Structure 1
């Protein structure tokens, strides 16, 4: 039924829009390459600098104290926000912290999902250090945590058939807007990390590969990480702003 609905819609459409930047390749592969196409990502409003949340939760407060403690020891902070399920590959970064990486860095994981308890149990059983789970927290709480971090981890598993035409997780645009360099452990696919130059997008399917990718960013001089973050932030302001997306829609309709 879904396939029938898709074919009917594509056959009769004058303009096709998608959050995936390479969805035009999907159209071409199915015989609809003559259709007008416009890429319209999930927008993100341009925000003022995040401030300490007035509605901070107990979970946020514990995460904040963990970050403060790590920073006082000179550790750099990696952050992940979002769903914690198998497709997100959080087990890869957890197991990456079983090695020497755990001595120099701290990892904050904010979110919930069906893998949360399993990953907490692994962390406890193997006594993996410097990892803090804070569960689901309000968005403004999470946005403030991003301002304290040094790296954003955009956990996804490398599934070519799923990501062949692009990706659209909101957490990546949140990281980039916060000026964080991002590690995306999948092959580049028109994603905002590789398109902006705001981090590293690289196939990493093992904890060792994830660790190497993270350390490549973490061992950079601070000014180099800041330069990557600035590239990502400028890209989000340019391409993900609602006004720009609206203009993109209007221009596409005008050319149909």
Structure 2
């Protein structure tokens, strides 16, 4: 009995390989090392299918066919990752518990990685990064910037308030009129002769102090004026003497 493997390579066309004890012998394997002869318990998924594959049979076959190290690739068996169990549970079994004709094997090469220094730097930078709630530069579902949408809504509100203000006109700035005193309220005149006399005395004192201040200011200005006249006379006499000396 044989099983067909449909091997999908990452770079290149898919290839079909017939897996049987004869083909394993041609590749240099001992079929008994890679195939079981039903040492499965009844609750296992194998259920008596033949050949009963070991978990690493596909890896060894791909490594031998394409001369690739086992540690440099991993396989997907029928779209699922190949596990390391004694039997391969990802195989499609028919009603008779036999493997179906084609088993899809996808070869995926492992990527070379570093020691993790750059990833550690990214993690530290992510912890230091400050989260800001400023979304003005982002766009909404319509493709508009959030900042422009917010400003346009503010402009619409301002226009509405302006229209209301124009309708009201200048009435909003007018002061309320004073209410006239009602005729029913009686007004009483305050008359206290002592208080009136004290007020008159204080007013007269204020007038006297103001007049004294004006008099002092006028005296200072008159003194300054007299000094200016004396200086002007002295200057004129000096000029006359100079003219006489030089016969001008």
Normalization by structure 2: what TM-score? 0.20
Which one scores higher on RCO, CA 8 angstroms, separation ≥ 6?
1
Normalization by structure 1: what TM-score? 0.19
The structure with the larger Rg is: 2
